Structure 1
Amino acid sequence: MSSEEIATVKRELLVRHLEAWAPAALHRARRVVYAHGYADAGGGASFQAAVRVLTDQADFVRGRELSMVATGAALPAVDAPFPVHTVPGDTDAMLAVALKASGAQRVPLLGFLDGAAAGAAPAPSTVAALTAGKPAEVLLVLPPGSSADPYRAGWPLFTQVELAVDDKPGELLVFATTTGKSLEGFKEALWAVDEFAGVRYRDPGDPDRHLIDISLTPHPGPLRREIVAFLERTGSATVTELRTFALTETVYRAADATRVVHALVDAGTVSRTPAHGRLGGDVVISR
């Protein structure tokens, strides 16, 4: 696996998400906190990229308070126009304490934890500590072969995607949030990143483990299979329920589900009730 290209994809996704998150959070609240665990991992490249993005948001900070909490064994020097609280030490041992000390409770809070770059998955309690934010969200990267299930507690919205270049298990990128709008924004950023040297996505829920090229219009094959399997389990579902399923349980966006359902209806693979008219959210789709 090309670790350098994988690292570039992760960093670009972090940058894109921060660029959307910071101004929205600063508009919503007077105080916001960004937490970066394992800040020294990968030579600190992602940490420095995050500092640059937040520095560019300086115009939004007037009358607001933006701060960063960073943990890691050997933290790089930081020059930023906002408070950066660097806490040397193990992220599992220090992050929850640092969040509490910085007053990150009940304020917009975004965390980034690249356990894959650090060589070890964080403790579930470390990720759960980020749910103290309101709203809260986390970008979490797990080493190849890891399971995301232990990290679901406390997160009402949770999605995951595998970063891969071949048939071997890839790093697992997890996004969890307390708001649906943030999940939609993450999915848009996920498919908008540039493609790097064969890095592709794999949907953990796809039994065929199909590799998907990074594209604004991703190949619908895995989503088609997952929607058909979902309908076989449930018997039927509304278009709204299928859109929600795609958004929360697959790597795809809600809009991708609408396109797939249209194709399935046209092919006669599924039926719809009522049989005619616009394919609105309350239309029932049956296998």
Structure 2
Amino acid sequence: MSYAEIDTVKRELLVRYLEAWVPAALHRARRVIYAHGYADADGGAAAEAAMRVLAEQSDLVRGRELAMVATGDDLGAISERLSAIQEQSGAGAGLAVHTISGGTDGRLPVGLKAIGAQRVPVLGFLDASGTGSPPAPATVAALTAGKPAEVILVLPAGASTDSLRTGWPLFTSVELAVSDEPGELLAFGTTAGKSLEGFKEALWSVDEFAGVRYRDPGDPDRHLIDISLTPHPGPLRRELLAHLEQVGEATVTELRTFALTETVYRAADATRVLHGLVDAGTVARRPSHGRLGGDVVIALA
């Protein structure tokens, strides 16, 4: 098992999310910015994949402005390849690429400010997994200038996200695991609830690659979860029961929100698990009959 499969999963997730994000962002605003940090960390493969997605939106770009700013230690050759993709797209001046060498922590905040990333849709992708340390908090926080703002982070195994959450009201993370050892930490921060739902859909929609599985950082049993449109419910079941033990009772809506924001799962997965817990008599519901709607109160039996 090599880590090439993990890189493939990360690229596919990025591509899937970008394919949904770009049209929605261009529909919302006339200017849209995508920021790609550590663009040379993987030889430029992820940055090129992202640029191809942007180029495929050439019809939507006309009359609007879609910009990519890429930073890294040395982007000489990568800059040429990104520019070639841009020129071949036929999008003209509406699609722009800005590459800045000299390091992501030192250059990304400056680059975002220079191209006017304030109060326009911004998505950042920062894969720092190969650097040995997370991005500087100021680098991640610089992306919050966008409106709305979103960031996909990849951190080295064992890294903490505590210092990187500032400015992100919604934040979630998942391990990319290949063994029982801690895996790379994939995190997502956003200022919009719909974006979190969209990220979770992309997370579970990627193709399964041999040996690569997810692990919920909040699961005390560290259960490995196969990548699937209908993921194994075990970790979510344990986390919902632990949450109910802590809070006493909660509505279905509150438990769906807990699953979406505090676990690797989607809100719909919580509904599926709650139906099973009610049927098994593990939890009690109030009222005791009828549809399991959002206002139904759930407590441990």
- Relative to the length of structure 2, the TM-score reads 0.94
1:99-147 Cα distance to aligned partner (Å, 9 max, x none) = 0000001000000000003443111111011000000000000000111
Q: Distance in 2 between matches of 1:63 and 1:88?
A: 29
Letter in 1 for 2:297: V
Secondary structure (helix, strand or coil) at the match of 2:12 reads helix
In the other structure, the counterpart of 1:189 is: 202
> Shift of the alpha carbon at 1:2?
2.5
For residues 187 and 2 of structure 1, the distance between their equivalents in structure 2, rounded to whole angstroms, comes to: 25
Name the SS for the 1:43 alignment partner: coil
Give the counterpart letter for 1:4 in structure 2. Answer: A
Secondary structure of the 2:185 match is strand
The match for 1:264 is 277
* Distance in 1 separating the partners of 2:53 and 2:179: 32
After superposition, the C-alpha distances for 1:16-64 in whole angstroms (9 at most, x for unaligned) are 0000000000000000000000011111100000000100011111111
| Partner of residue 51, structure 1 | 51
Distance 1:286 1:279 in 2: 13
Match of 2:74 in 1: 74
Deviation larger for 13-22 or 117-126 = 117-126
Q: 2:177 touches 2:214 (CA, 8 Å); kept in 1? A: yes
Matches within 5 A, 1:47-196: 47-75=47-75, 76=78, 77=80, 78=82, 79=84, 80=86, 81=91, 82-196=95-209
Which residue number corresponds to residue 207 of structure 1?
220
**Whole-Å separation in 1 of the counterparts to 2:203 and 2:128:** 19
Deviation, 1:277, is: 0.5
Instruction: Tell me, in whole angstroms, the C-alpha distance in 2 between the residues paired with 1:156 and 1:58.
Output: 32
Whole-angstrom distance in 2 between the partners of 1:272 and 1:177: 32
Aligned-residue sequence identity (percent) comes to 76
Distance (Å, rounded) in 1 between the aligned partners of 2:47 and 2:192? 25
Letter in 1 for 2:133: A
Q: Structure 2: how far apart are the matches of 1:118 and 1:46?
A: 16
Contact 1:160/1:250, CA 8 A, preserved across alignment? yes
Alignment of 1:234-249 (within 5 A): 234-249=247-262
What is the aligned partner in structure 2 of residue 280 from structure 1? 293
CA distance in 2, matches of 1:238, 1:120: 39
The answer to whether the 8 A contact 1:42-1:118 is kept is no
Amino acid of the residue matched to residue 31 of structure 1? Answer: R
1:198 deviation in Å?
1.1
Deviation at 1:84, TM superposition (A): 0.6
Structure 1 residue 253: deviation in Å? Answer: 0.3
Q: Which runs of no fewer than 5 residues in structure 2 stay unpaired? A: none
Distance of 2:59 and 2:132 partners within structure 1: 36
Please state whether the residue corresponding to 1:110 is helix, strand or coil: strand
Unmatched runs of 5 consecutive residues or more in structure 1: none
* CA-based RMSD: 0.8
Partner of 2:31: 31
Amino acid at match of 1:180: G
Q: How many residues align?
A: 287
Partner of 1:2: 2
| Deviations 1:215-251, CA, capped at 9 Å, x for gaps | 0000000000000000000000000000000000000
